[in-house]
């Protein structure tokens, strides 16, 4: 009968343990930091506008040999993101499918292959990251934040390391004004009242202004002649009124009309009308210039 000593068993067990440790140390991908914050600022807003910001995520290998891993993104919060501020992530031209949560099943575009991570733990590899933000009208000014969980995983889906990535978007107050129903363009428009009847009220054709704003806003009307049509050659003047939604507008520019909310993507339409009451004045051409100013809050 062969006698096997317990010491032989112990020696075999230790050899096997050392082999496993050496295999594990060959590839240990890890992030250089456990949390990272990226800030983007949108100074301009418009239909189908976007802004893009680029950053890098640094990865290194704590093991001895060069190896590879996969990068996976998921939403840190289970609540649905604001549809007007959904961020699109991409790397090296490849759009990343951000998973709804860490527990979600991987998709064809959710795992980004990272090759040739240098070993030794001293050299890092930058992973380029591009963030695209929609900045269409309808967005709100101010800062919003979205947090992602970024994981380094192997081919089985097991995680090597985690990174909490926070992306902040600061939308600056922005406004846009368009004159509707008048001759001209967005900056200079003309309302032709036609022949004025001194015996009855003359009214303009309907027109108005459409306003887009990312925040509460105010509108002022400043008349060059303080609500008077001035004769182009003589000193005669004819008084008139401008009404917004049926209410008389202060044409001095001193009393802004305030609107306490942002607009949606369609904007706010403010109907306007000019009315010239009966008057006594000499014949000729009369005109006035009104500057309409919209200010974001």
Model pLDDT for residues 230-251, shown as the tens digit of each residue:
999 988 999 999 999 889 999 9
Q: How far is CA 16 from the centre of its chain?
A: 56
pTM of the model: 0.79
Q: How far is CA 123 from the centre of its chain?
A: 35
Query: What are the pLDDT digits (tens) for 88-105?
Result: 999 999 999 999 999 999
Beta carbons of 38 and 166 less than 8 angstroms apart: yes
Judge: domain 27-171, CATH 2.60.40.1090. Answer: yes
Per-residue pLDDT, 226: 93
Going from N- to C-terminal start, the domains of the chain cover 27-171, 175-296
What's the CATH number for 175-296?
A: 2.60.40.1090
Lookup: tokens for 297: 């809050």
- φ, ψ of residue 276 to 5 degrees: the values are -110, 110
Beta carbons of 165 and 32 less than 8 angstroms apart: no
27-171 with 175-296: one CATH topology?
A: yes
Q: Which residues of the chain have pLDDT under 70?
A: 1-25, 78-80, 186
């Amino acid at each position: 009968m062969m006698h096997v000593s317990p010491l032989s068993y112990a020696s075999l067990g230790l050899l096997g343990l050392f082999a496993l440790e050496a295999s594990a140390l060959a590839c240990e991908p890890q992030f250089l930091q456990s949390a990272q914050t990226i800030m983007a600022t949108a100074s301009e807003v418009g239909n189908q506008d976007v802004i893009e910001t680029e950053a890098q995520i640094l990865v290194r290998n704590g093991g001895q040999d060069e190896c590879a891993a996969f990068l996976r993104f998921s939403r840190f919060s289970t609540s649905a993101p604001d549809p007007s501020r959904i961020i699109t992530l991409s790397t090296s031209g490849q759009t990343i499918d951000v998973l709804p949560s860490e527990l979600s099943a991987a998709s064809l575009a959710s795992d980004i292959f990272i090759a040739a991570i240098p070993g030794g733990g001293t050299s890092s590899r930058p992973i380029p990251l591009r963030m695209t933000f929609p900045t269409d009208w309808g967005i709100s000014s101010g800062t919003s934040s979205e947090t992602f969980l970024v994981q380094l995983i192997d081919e089985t889906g097991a995680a090597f390391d985690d990174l909490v990535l926070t992306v902040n978007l600061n939308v600056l107050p922005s406004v846009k004004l368009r004159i509707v129903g008048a001759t001209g363009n967005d900056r200079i428009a003309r309302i032709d009242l036609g022949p004025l009847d001194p015996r009855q009220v003359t009214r303009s054709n309907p027109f108005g202004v459409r306003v887009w704003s990312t925040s509460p806003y105010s509108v002022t009307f400043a008349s060059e002649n303080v609500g008077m049509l001035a004769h182009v050659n003589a000193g005669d003047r004819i008084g008139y009124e401008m009404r917004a939604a049926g209410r008389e507008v202060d044409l001095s520019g001193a009393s802004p009309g305030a609107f306490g909310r942002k607009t949606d993507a369609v904007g706010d339409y403010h109907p306007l009308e000019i009315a010239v009451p009966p008057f006594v004045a000499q014949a000729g051409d009369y005109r006035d210039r009104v500057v309409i100013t919209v200010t974001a809050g």
